Amino acid sequence: MTVLDPEDIQACLDHGLPAGEAERQLALLESGVAPLRLARPCTAGDGLTVLTTSEADRLVEAWPDLGRGCRLVKFVPASGAASRMFSALSGVLSEGDPPGLDELKRAGQQGSADAALVAEFAERVNEFAFYEELALRVGASDEPPDTGHAYLGYGRGLLSAEGLDYARLPKGLLAFHLYPDGSRTPLEEQLFEAAAYAASSDGCCRLHLTVSGEHLGAFEELVTRVVPLYEQRFGLRFELSFSEQKASTDSLAVDDDGGLFCVEGAPLFRAGGHGALIANLADIDADLVFIKNIDNVVPESLAAPTVYWKKVLGAVLLELRRDVYASLAELRGEGCSESALDRADLLISDRLGGESPRGSAEQRRRGLLQRLDRPIRVCGMVPVTGEPGGGPFWVETAAAESGPGSSQSVQVVEPAQVDLSEPEQARVLAAATHFNPVDLVCSTRDESGRDYQLGDFVDPATAFLVAKSVAGRSLRALERPGLWNGAMAGWNTVFVEVPLETFNPVKTVNDLLRPTHVGRMQQADNN
C-alpha cells in the first residue's frame, strides 16, 4: 500500500483531510470497492409503496396540517457544470473540418447518435429559450440557421467564452424555458415550484443550493434580480442560502503504478462527488428537507403533478415520523410493555422493511431503539422506461447498517455498484421495475429535535472508483458514497411510486426541445 511521507501527511492536514482518512482512501484505491449484493428489486408491495388515487388525495389534503409548524427547506445540488449537455456539439465544433448539416443527417441516419443530436440542434436552434440572446451574440446571417454550416456560428456563440459561455456555466444559470416575458433559468423554476409546497407556516420559503465558488457571484446576482418578483407574486419571503463542497471531503488519487498522484510535488485533491454533500445537508437547519436536482424542472404550465406528488411524499414522511416518534417514546419509557415491542415490530415490518431484532424483551427493546432511532427518507421512484440511473433494491446488508436482526435493507443502487459479470446479479439488476429520479424528502432530527450526526449513517465501503486524467496523465480516484446511495445507507427508507411525468431531467441540450420543457403555454404562444 502507498505510504504517505510526512510532507504528504502535512499537505492532507492543511487541506482539512485527516491522516487516517487519507490512509483509508489509499487502502480502498488499492484493494478496490466490494460490489453490493442484490437480493431482489423492490417491487409493488415488496419494498415499494404504490398508493391508490384516494390514498394520494388524502395525503395531499393532510399536507398543510401535517407540515404546520415545520421548518421546511428545499435542498438543490447545483454545482455541476453544464458541459455534458453540450458534449456532442463540442465534439463537432472541435473537428478540423466540421461537417455540413446534410452530412450530419446522413451520419445520424447511419446510427451516430451525436450526429443526429447536432443535426436536430441545427434545424431547431431557433426554438430554444436562449435563441434570442444567442442570435444577438452571433449577429445577423444571410444563411438560415438550419442549412449548411450556419449552425457552427450558433454553436460557437453558445459555447465560447466570447458568446454565452454555456459550456462553462452550471445548469442552474442557463435559459431553460421560454415565456411571453422572456426566458427562465432552472433556479427560477425551482423558486416557483418551492412556493407551491415548501413554504413554512411562518410565510418563508427557504432554499439551499450547493454551488461552486466560481459561480457563486452569478447565482447571487440572479437571486437579487428575481427573488423580489417571486416574493411579490406569492406573498412569501424567500430565503436562499448557498454552500460549497467542503475541502475536507475531497479525495486523493493514485497513478498507474499505484503511487500517490501528485502535481508539482503536492498531492492532488479532487472533489469527492455528490456524496460529499452529506456534510452540507447536515448543516441545514430544517425539520424537513426536500431534495431535487437543479435540472429536473418543467415550465409552470406543467408543474401541477410535481407539486401534487411532493406534497404526497412530504405527508408520507410526516405520518411515518409521527408514528416512529411515538414508538420511540414507548420504547424509552419505564416498564416498556410487550405490546409496545410488538407495535414497534409491526411498524418496521409493515412500513420500513427488514426483520425485527429477536431475543429477550430487553434485547428486543434495545434493538428496536437502534433500528428506529435514525434519519428518515421517503424517496419517489418512477417506473422504468430506459432512462439511465439507479433504482430501488433489497440489498444483502451487514447488521450494523440495517439494524439488529436484519440481513437485508432497501437501498438506492447504481449499476456501477453491482458486479455485472455475475449472471445472477445482472439478472436482478435487469429485473428492476423502477428507477431513481432523485426525488427525496428527508427528516434529519430525532424526536427531541436534535440533529442526527449524518456521518454516522454513511456506509464508507460503498465509495466509487473512477478513472480520470489530468494533464495527459491517467489516474484512479475515489468518490465518496453517493448522496442518495451509500451516504444514506443507514437511514430508515421508504420508496413510493411517483408518475414518470414528475421526472424531466436535462442531460443534453436537445432535451430542452421535448414537450415537457416547451410547455403548453409556450407552445400556444409560438403558434
Task: Report how far residue 152's alpha carbon sits from residue 172's, in angstroms, rounded to the nearest whole number.
Answer: 25
| DSSP 3-state of 407 | coil
Length of the chain: 527
* pLDDT at residue 81, rounded to an integer: 84
Of 32 and 400, more confident: 32
pLDDT of residue 519: 58
Chain Cα centroid distance, residue 438: 5
Instruction: For 109-158, write each residue's pLDDT tens digit.
Output: 999 999 999 999 999 999 999 999 999 988 755 555 556 788 899 999 99
CATH numbers and ranges of domains, the chain: 6-82+173-526 (3.90.550.10), 83-168 (no CATH)
Question: What integer pLDDT is reported at residue 523 of this predicted model?
Answer: 45
DSSP string, 220-259: HHHHHHHHHHHHHHHT-EEEEEEE---GGG-B-EE-TTSS
* pLDDT mean over 6-26: 91
Residue 177 has what pLDDT?
97
**Other residues' Cβ atoms within 10 Å of the Cβ of residue 402:** 25
Letter for the amino acid at 138? V
pLDDT at 507 over 50: yes
For residues 492 and 457, give the distance between their C-alpha atoms in angstroms, rounded to a whole number. Answer: 10
Instruction: Give the model confidence (pLDDT) of 61-87 as tens digits.
Output: 999 999 999 999 999 999 988 999 999
pLDDT value, residue 138 = 86
Confidence of residue 4 (pLDDT cuts 50, 70, 90): confident
- What are the tens digits of pLDDT across the range 48-60? 999 999 999 999 9
Helix spans in 1-112 (H): 6-15, 19-31, 53-67, 87-93, 101-109
Distance CA 521, CA 517 (A): 11
**What CA–CA distance (Å, rounded) separates 73 from 208?**
7
Q: How confident is the model at residue 11 (pLDDT cuts 50, 70, 90)?
A: very high
Confidence grade of residue 525 (pLDDT, cut at 50, 70, 90): very low
Query: Mind listing the pLDDT tens digit for each residue in 274-322?
Result: 899 999 999 999 999 999 999 999 999 999 999 999 999 999 999 999 9
Residue 1: pLDDT band by 50, 70, 90 thresholds?
low
pLDDT bracket for residue 526 (50, 70, 90)? very low
Q: Among 92-101, 364-373, 388-397, 425-434, where is mean pLDDT lowest?
A: 388-397
- Model's pTM, two decimal places? 0.92
Categorize the per-residue pLDDT at 192 as very low, low, confident or very high, splitting at 50, 70 and 90. Answer: very high
One-letter amino acid at 43 equals: T
**Confidence at residue 2, expressed as pLDDT on a 0 to 100 scale:** 73
Bridge partners, 253 (sequence order): 477
* Cross-sheet strand order for the sheet of 38-41: 38-41, 391-396, 408-413
pLDDT at 398: 62
- Cβ contact 280:246 at 8 Å: yes
Banded pLDDT at 527 (limits 50, 70, 90):
very low
- On average, the pLDDT of the chain sits at 91
**Inter-residue contact 206 to 313 (CB < 8 Å):** no
Phi/psi zone of residue 359: left (φ > 0), alpha (ψ -120 to 50 degrees), beta? left
Task: Label residue 406 by pLDDT band (50, 70, 90).
Answer: low
Helical (H) or strand (E) element with 367: helix 361-372
Q: Are 311 and 63 in contact (CB under 8 A)?
A: yes
State the CB neighbour count (10 A cutoff) for residue 277.
24
pLDDT band at 524, cuts 50/70/90?
very low
- Could you please report the per-residue DSSP string of 433-465? -EE---EEEEE-B-TTSPBP-GGGG--GGG-EE
DSSP structure class, residue 348: I
Whole-angstrom distance, CA of residue 486 vs CA of residue 497: 21
* Amino acid (one-letter) located at 494: V
Asked if residue 251 lies in contact with residue 216, where contact means CB atoms within 8 angstroms, the answer is: no
